[in-house]
Amino acid sequence: MVEKTDDSRELRRSLSVTNLVTLGVGAIVGAGIFVITGQAAANHAGPALTLSFLISATGCILAGLCYAELAAMIPVSGSVYSYSYVTMGEFPAWFIGWDLILEYLFACSAVAVAWSGYMESLFQGWGIALPHSIAQSTFAHTEEGWHLTGSIINFPAVFIVSLVATLLLGGIRQSATVNNIIVVIKVSVILLFIGFGLSYIDTGNWSPYIPPNTGEFGHYGFSGILRGAALVFFAFLGFDALSTAAQETRNPQRDMPKGILISLIVCTLLYVLVTAVLTGIVNYRELNVDAPIAVAIDHAGKGLAWLSPFIKVGAIAGLSSVILVMMLGQTRIYYAISRDGMFPKIFSDIHGKTHIPHKATIFAGIVTGLVAGLFPLNVLNELVSIGTLLAFTIVCISVVVLRVTRPELKRPFKVPFAPAIPLLGAAFCLLQMVSLPWNTWIRLIGWTIIGCIIYFSYGITHSRLNRNR
């Protein structure tokens, strides 16, 4: 028997295709351009990071086609969690839902830490020095292991998370409007950097284009390009988060595929151009910083000095929109899992006026703020990458499974050349997962064990399927 729908727990459909594209660009164009490019070039790929982005983009486009098919066919909140629920059943859906929480929680936190770094740089330009005790993460992780930094908490990171959570509580339409404005600002700033930065490129910085491997996997050479691709995969989170809003889209069957694919194409082009200009202005070895574009502007000297405050403001605005979309995605995952009974009912409570899951939003704000305030960027980034790659792999496999098990379902958008493209997308994602450090896999395994404990102690006994048996 199908459980009767409770209208008080339904989300409002108010997003157009334009909103979807700007939400996608809002999430994709952020930490990938403003932060991760520098670290991945300096530590792994050198100028060949442009190839890393193309590898990641190829995997994303293949996975994006699969997302488009599933989002058009199953236009509900919850992204790949909901798709897995339909295609594979309750426990696999829980597994991927728990992985998505990892992805969105740590992505949101990582970008908040990056936002803090750019805000600190902006304050320094104004002659204001933030105290170390409230401007750095409490913990740091190096090759020697974990240690305390002496900081109480990263307050700017906590502040921006709290501000975004408050904005989301105002409703999806208000959040989308603010995001649209921010997207225009940050894309304009990025185009200014590309346009004016071209004349400051020293082609000598591109030589060697692929630095020779140091003898360690992932440090330059081809393995470094692969490791760089796995890290910058973090930068393509936007279209994944976009699919969580399917239930709030006016015409998801038509608009969701357009929103996903247009977002990916626009952002891939921007990423490759920014990376080329960035590594052309500054030697890649100097880019292992939290604000690499700001470093490039400063390196160019007086000719681009006027652009520095615009870049920093654009980065701060851009990162803010990423946090907004990542937290939106996180709350919708809580909502979807709660609707299926595997999280407490309060996570699917809908506010009578704003029609958003307000309690899930408050919870997401608190947890994300704590993680952002306590942990460093490098750890958060690797966790996000492996969680994202796993989610994309499952999406690609889900398309193949559904084509075999449910061929009769209406598919407003179909992945061409299936099953070849879905399987190729899964292979691209798995290849990048393998290139990530072993300690990242250990953290993923630990997160999975915690999820299994929650499922078998609470989820399985409270799930909607169990109630209907």
CA nearest neighbour of 78 among 240, 315, 273, 275: 240
* Angle ∠(347,316,120) on CA atoms, nearest 5: 110
Give the best-scoring range by mean pLDDT among 31-40, 184-193, 259-268, 360-369: 360-369
Q: pLDDT tens-digit profile of 290-324?
A: 678 888 988 888 888 888 888 878 888 878 888 88
pLDDT: is 314 or 47 the higher one?
47
Chain-centroid distance of CA 259 in Å reads 16
* Confidence band of 282 (pLDDT split at 50, 70, 90): very high
Q: Which residues does 408 contact at the CB level (< 8 Å), separation at least 6? A: none
The DSSP letter of residue 237 is T
pLDDT, residue 420, reads 94
Sort residue 74 into left (φ over 0), alpha (ψ -120 to 50) or beta.
Answer: beta
Give the best-scoring range by mean pLDDT among 70-74, 128-132, 251-255: 128-132
Say yes or no to pLDDT of 120 above 90: no
Say yes or no to pLDDT of 32 above 80: no
**Letter for the amino acid at 119?**
M
State how far the Cα of 111 lies from the Cα of 368, in Å rounded to an integer. Answer: 11
Question: Once rounded to an integer, what is the mean pLDDT over residues 344-350?
Answer: 93
Question: Once rounded to an integer, what is the mean pLDDT over residues 424-446?
Answer: 88
In the chain, what are the domain boundaries?
17-464
CA nearest neighbour of 83 among 306, 230, 256: 256
Question: Once rounded to an integer, what is the mean pLDDT over residues 82-86?
Answer: 77
pLDDT, residue 237, reads 67
CA nearest neighbour of 344 among 328, 325, 363, 327: 363
State how far the Cα of 185 lies from the Cα of 179, in Å rounded to an integer. Answer: 10
Give yes or no for a contact between 358 and 104, defined as CB atoms under 8 angstroms apart.
no
Chain-centroid distance of CA 294 in Å reads 22
pLDDT, residue 1, reads 31
* Confidence band of 23 (pLDDT split at 50, 70, 90): confident
Which structure tokens are listed for 412?
């407003």
Say yes or no to pLDDT of 3 above 70: no
Rounded to 5 degrees, what are φ and ψ at 381? -65, -45
CA nearest neighbour of 160 among 168, 172, 148, 151: 168
Please list the residues that pair with 141 across neighbouring strands. 146
Three-class SS of residue 58? helix
pLDDT, residue 210, reads 95
pLDDT, residue 7, reads 44
CA nearest neighbour of 23 among 234, 322, 306: 322
Mean pLDDT across the chain:
84
Tally of CB atoms within 10 A around 131 = 10
Which structure tokens are listed for 330?
């996180």
Rounded to 5 degrees, what are φ and ψ at 139? -115, 155
Say yes or no to pLDDT of 218 above 70: yes
pLDDT: is 96 or 160 the higher one?
160
Q: pLDDT tens-digit profile of 403-418?
A: 998 888 888 888 989 9
List strand residue ranges (DSSP E) for 18-143, in order. 139-142
* Confidence band of 194 (pLDDT split at 50, 70, 90): very high
pLDDT, residue 443, reads 87
Identify whether 419 is preceded by a cis peptide bond (ω within 30 of 0).
yes
* Confidence band of 114 (pLDDT split at 50, 70, 90): confident
Of the listed ranges 1-15, 137-151, 237-251, 398-412, the least confidently predicted one is 1-15
pLDDT, residue 245, reads 64
DSSP symbols for 122-160: HHHHTT----GGGTS-SEEEETTEEEE-S-S--HHHHHH
Question: Once rounded to an integer, what is the mean pLDDT over residues 223-240?
Answer: 79
Question: Once rounded to an integer, what is the mean pLDDT over residues 251-269?
Answer: 81
Which structure tokens are listed for 436?
């990530």
Of the listed ranges 140-144, 283-287, 298-302, 385-389, the least confidently predicted one is 140-144
pLDDT, residue 6, reads 47
Give yes or no for a contact between 353 and 215, defined as CB atoms under 8 angstroms apart.
no
For residue 410, the surrounding DSSP H or E stretch is none
* Confidence band of 242 (pLDDT split at 50, 70, 90): low
pLDDT, residue 13, reads 66
* Confidence band of 446 (pLDDT split at 50, 70, 90): very high
Question: Once rounded to an integer, what is the mean pLDDT over residues 188-206?
Answer: 92
pTM above 0.85? Answer: no
Give yes or no for a contact between 271 and 60, defined as CB atoms under 8 angstroms apart.
no
Total length of the chain: 469
Rounded to 5 degrees, what are φ and ψ at 446? -60, -45
pLDDT, residue 349, reads 93
Of the listed ranges 154-168, 306-320, 334-348, the least confidently predicted one is 306-320
Say yes or no to pLDDT of 31 above 50: yes
pLDDT, residue 80, reads 72
pLDDT, residue 457, reads 95
Say yes or no to pLDDT of 9 above 70: no
Fold adopted by 17-464: Amino acid/polyamine transporter I (1.20.1740)
Identify whether 208 is preceded by a cis peptide bond (ω within 30 of 0).
yes
Q: State how beta strands 139-142 and 145-148 pair.
A: antiparallel
pLDDT, residue 299, reads 87
**Letter for the amino acid at 309?**
P
Which structure tokens are listed for 370?
């704590």
State how far the Cα of 83 lies from the Cα of 395, in Å rounded to an integer. Answer: 8
State how far the Cα of 387 lies from the Cα of 138, in Å rounded to an integer. Answer: 23
CA nearest neighbour of 272 among 62, 39, 54, 55: 54
